[in-house]
């Protein structure tokens, strides 16, 4: 007799939130030369972080600090908060899954944007949450509709990515303050700020609110995606509750050492942000010159409206055959878009060459 699943898990569809470039290489047999589909940093990690991780590797037999005290203390210093206001996790995905375990019960209503980063939903559904998706408006999350839907449904959790993935759109601090002020008292906002290093006018971290959790990562500007480390900021009582559900050795010693050193290397991170902005402006001009419409972006990627879903799909597949990994949104009104990570100078030049060749091949086959 087969073991019986938890009924909630039995109802969860078996889907993959992200098909990695390795899986695409196995499918096509074609090596990927340009990884521009997962928004990994093309600039790698800080040299100081690399040295710190090499030193930590001298003792792989030691467990990492289960409290992550040194890194949490530095994060508290950087954000002018207390150590009790921050908890670590193996990336934002794990932190959001744990937050769902803390707040979501079977039948609770969850509100999110249709098309925004979907991995949050896996944690919510696995806890029995019922997802309600609000469409984009004008190719960006509709804050007004998100708030109104949350109020009307008496939703337990509202998820918002700011800046948004995959649109790249950013809502300023005033807009976020207004959204938070209108939420029901028993609703909590999961504010996914994975790309916050590339944006300005953020909601001040020092303004701790009982009904807001801020999720951040070292995967993007810090270039540590493969090391899996992120953090969540919130009210101290809520943050202490993460100790009830998290894996206490979930963030390894190498990642902690690297993140601490990278956090202190402000010049390196600033250079990544600066070079990303430079590359983003260049790519906006490039795609505009090709007759396409780049969406405004406050991230390390650019989402480009190419006109229709078929062309977007053809570009993704044709570029893959040429060794270039990009992605495309699947939900309207972004289904006619492609999403491209902003690479360094050499990567951008190679991408332009492959893009133009792919576009020519597609037009020639029509």
| Whether the Cβ atoms of residue 232 and residue 95 lie closer than 8 Å to each other | yes
Q: Could you say which of 237, 264, 291 is where a domain stops?
A: 264
Tens of each residue's pLDDT in the chain, 366 residues: 677 778 888 777 777 667 899 999 999 999 999 999 999 999 999 999 999 999 999 999 999 999 999 999 999 999 999 999 999 999 999 999 999 999 999 999 999 999 999 899 999 999 999 999 999 999 999 999 999 999 999 999 999 999 999 999 999 999 999 999 999 999 999 999 999 999 987 877 765 678 999 999 999 999 999 999 999 999 999 999 999 999 999 999 999 999 999 999 999 999 999 999 999 999 999 999 999 999 999 999 999 999 999 999 999 999 999 999 999 999 999 999 999 999 999 999 999 999 999 999 998 886
18, 31, 315 from 219: Cα distances, Å: 16, 23, 26
55 plus 175 within the same structural domain: yes
158 plus 253 within the same structural domain: yes
Please give the full DSSP string across 155-171, using - where no structure is assigned: -SEEEEESS-TTT----
Alpha-carbon distance of 40 to 283, in angstroms, equals 17
Both tokens assigned to 5: 């699943």
Alpha-carbon distance of 219 to 39, in angstroms, equals 9
Please tell me whether residue 254 adopts helix, strand or coil conformation: helix
Q: Could you say which of 264, 282, 312 is where a domain stops?
A: 264
DSSP state of 339: E
252 plus 149 within the same structural domain: yes
End-to-end alpha carbon distance in the chain: 54
Residue 6 lies in a domain: no
Q: Could you say which of 202, 235, 264 is where a domain stops?
A: 264
Residue 5 lies in a domain: no
Residue 359: give the domain boundaries. Answer: 18-44+267-365
Residue 142 lies in a domain: yes
Domain count, the chain: 2
213 plus 322 within the same structural domain: no
Residue 283 lies in a domain: yes
- The domain spanning residue 111 has which CATH number? 3.40.640.10
Tally of CB atoms within 10 A around 240 = 13
Both tokens assigned to 129: 């949450």
Closest of 49, 48, 40 to residue 21, by C-alpha: 40
- The domain spanning residue 353 has which CATH number? 3.90.1150.10
98, 156, 195, 213, 250 from 87: Cα distances, Å: 11, 22, 18, 11, 12
For residue 83, give every residue at least 6 positions away whose Cβ sits within 8 Å of its Cβ, in sequence order, or none. Answer: 69, 72, 73, 76
223 plus 106 within the same structural domain: yes
118 plus 257 within the same structural domain: yes
Full-model pTM: 0.95
Residue 250 lies in a domain: yes
106, 108, 243 from 101: Cα distances, Å: 11, 12, 12
Helix count and strand count (H, E) for the chain: 13, 12
Q: Which residue has the tokens 């019922």?
A: 130
């Amino acid at each position: 007799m087969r073991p019986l699943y938890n009924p909630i898990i039995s109802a969860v569809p078996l889907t993959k939130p992200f098909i990695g470039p390795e899986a695409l290489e196995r499918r096509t047999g074609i090596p990927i030369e340009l990884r521009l589909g997962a928004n990994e940093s093309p600039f790698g990690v800080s040299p100081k972080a690399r040295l710190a991780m090499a030193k930590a590797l001298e003792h792989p037999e030691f467990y990492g600090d289960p409290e992550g005290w040194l890194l949490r203390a530095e994060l508290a210093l950087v954000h002018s908060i207390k150590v009790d206001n921050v908890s670590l996790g193996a990336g934002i995905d794990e932190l959001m899954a744990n937050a769902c375990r803390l707040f979501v019960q079977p039948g609770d209503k969850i509100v999110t944007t249709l098309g925004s980063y979907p991995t949050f939903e896996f944690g919510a559904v696995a806890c029995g949450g019922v997802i309600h998706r609000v469409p984009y408006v004008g190719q960006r999350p509709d804050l007004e509709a998100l708030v109104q839907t949350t109020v009307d449904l008496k939703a337990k959790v509202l998820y918002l990515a700011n800046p948004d993935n995959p649109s790249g759109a950013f809502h300023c601090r005033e807009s976020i303050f207004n959204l938070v002020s209108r939420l029901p008292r028993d609703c909590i906002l999961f504010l996914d700020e994975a790309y916050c290093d590339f944006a300005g006018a953020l909601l001040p971290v020092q303004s701790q609110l009982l009904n807001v959790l801020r999720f951040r990562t070292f995967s993007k500007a810090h270039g540590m995606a493969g090391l899996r480390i992120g953090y969540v900021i919130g009210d101290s009582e809520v943050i202490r509750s993460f100790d009830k559900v998290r894996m206490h050795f979930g963030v390894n010693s190498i990642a902690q050492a690297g993140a601490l050193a990278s956090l202190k290397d402000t010049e390196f991170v600033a250079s990544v942000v600066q070079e990303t902005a430079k590359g983003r402006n260049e790519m906006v001009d490039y795609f505009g010159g090709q007759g396409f419409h780049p969406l405004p972006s406050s991230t390390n990627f650019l989402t480009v409206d190419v006109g229709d879903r078929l062309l977007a799909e053809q570009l993704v597949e044709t570029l893959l055959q040429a060794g270039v990994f990009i992605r495309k949104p699947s939900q309207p009104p972004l289904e006619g878009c492609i999403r491209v990570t902003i690479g360094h100078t050499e990567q951008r030049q190679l991408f332009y060459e492959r893009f133009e060749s792919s576009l020519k091949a597609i037009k020639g086959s029509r």
